[in-house]
């Protein structure tokens, strides 16, 4: 494949969570094109499994979809250098009111490779310990415990469409199927 060269990158908007850029690129045939890019510092998500085997999920309103969703606990890293494991443990406790004694990497997800740099590390959290929820001022998150099979049914029925949640639950299901969890 011939080389595509970035000629210029312009910051168009600096936001709280993302920065929006427009890249000017030179295509293999010499023409130039404008490509949009959303730059994200990264995030982490967690599949928290209780002793009874139920998975702690969070229900929260998502403005982009204008509805409540059922998702894995997750959040943005405090900075690019923050390890995803640290972010995952923090988000677990903040959103569910549980900490964990065991955190294992499951999978990494690039959410939208066509125009976004966001990469989410997804972890399995086991040996949960009840603590207290520590929500941000603008967060309204309700934890709920679910059976894995019921969550997989929601995925395949099209009721659950969040990419990190689908990837995380499916990775955990495969790990369980193999006897590794």
As assigned by CATH, the class of the 41-177 domain is alpha beta
Average pLDDT over residues 129-153: 92
Report the alpha-carbon distance of residue 72 to residue 83 in Å, rounded: 18
Q: Which residue has the higher pLDDT, 59 or 181?
A: 59
Are the C-beta atoms of 20 and 61 separated by less than 8 Å?
no
Q: Provide, for the chain, the percentages of residues in helix, strand and coil under a 3-state DSSP scheme, each rounded to the nearest 5.
A: 20, 45, 35
Q: Where are the chain's structural domains? A: 5-39, 41-177
pLDDT in tens, 160-172: 999 999 999 999 9
Q: Name the one residue in this structure whose structure tokens are 């702690």.
A: 56
Q: Which residue has the higher pLDDT, 25 or 134?
A: 25
Confidence (pLDDT) at 1: 64
User: What angle (nearest 5°) sits at the alpha carbon of residue 22, between those of residues 18 and 25?
Assistant: 135
User: pTM of whole model > 0.95?
Assistant: no
């Amino acid at each position: 494949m011939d080389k595509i060269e970035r000629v210029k990158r312009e910051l168009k908007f600096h936001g709280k969570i993302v920065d929006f850029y427009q890249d000017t690129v030179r295509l293999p045939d010499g023409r130039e094109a404008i490509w949009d890019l959303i730059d994200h510092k990264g995030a982490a998500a967690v599949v928290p499994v209780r002793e009874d085997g139920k998975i702690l999920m969070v229900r929260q309103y998502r403005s982009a979809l204008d509805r409540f969703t059922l998702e894995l606990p997750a959040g943005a890293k405090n900075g690019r250098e923050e390890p995803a494991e640290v972010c995952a443990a923090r988000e677990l406790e903040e959103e569910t009111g549980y900490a964990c004694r065991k955190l294992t990497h499951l999978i990494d997800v690039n959410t939208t490779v066509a125009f976004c740099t966001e990469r989410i590390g997804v972890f399995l959290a086991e040996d949960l310990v009840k603590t207290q929820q520590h929500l941000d001022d603008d967060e309204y998150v309700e934890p709920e415990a679910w059976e894995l099979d019921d969550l997989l049914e929601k995925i395949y029925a099209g009721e659950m469409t969040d990419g990190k949640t689908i990837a995380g639950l499916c990775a955990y299901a495969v790990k369980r199927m193999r006897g590794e969890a």
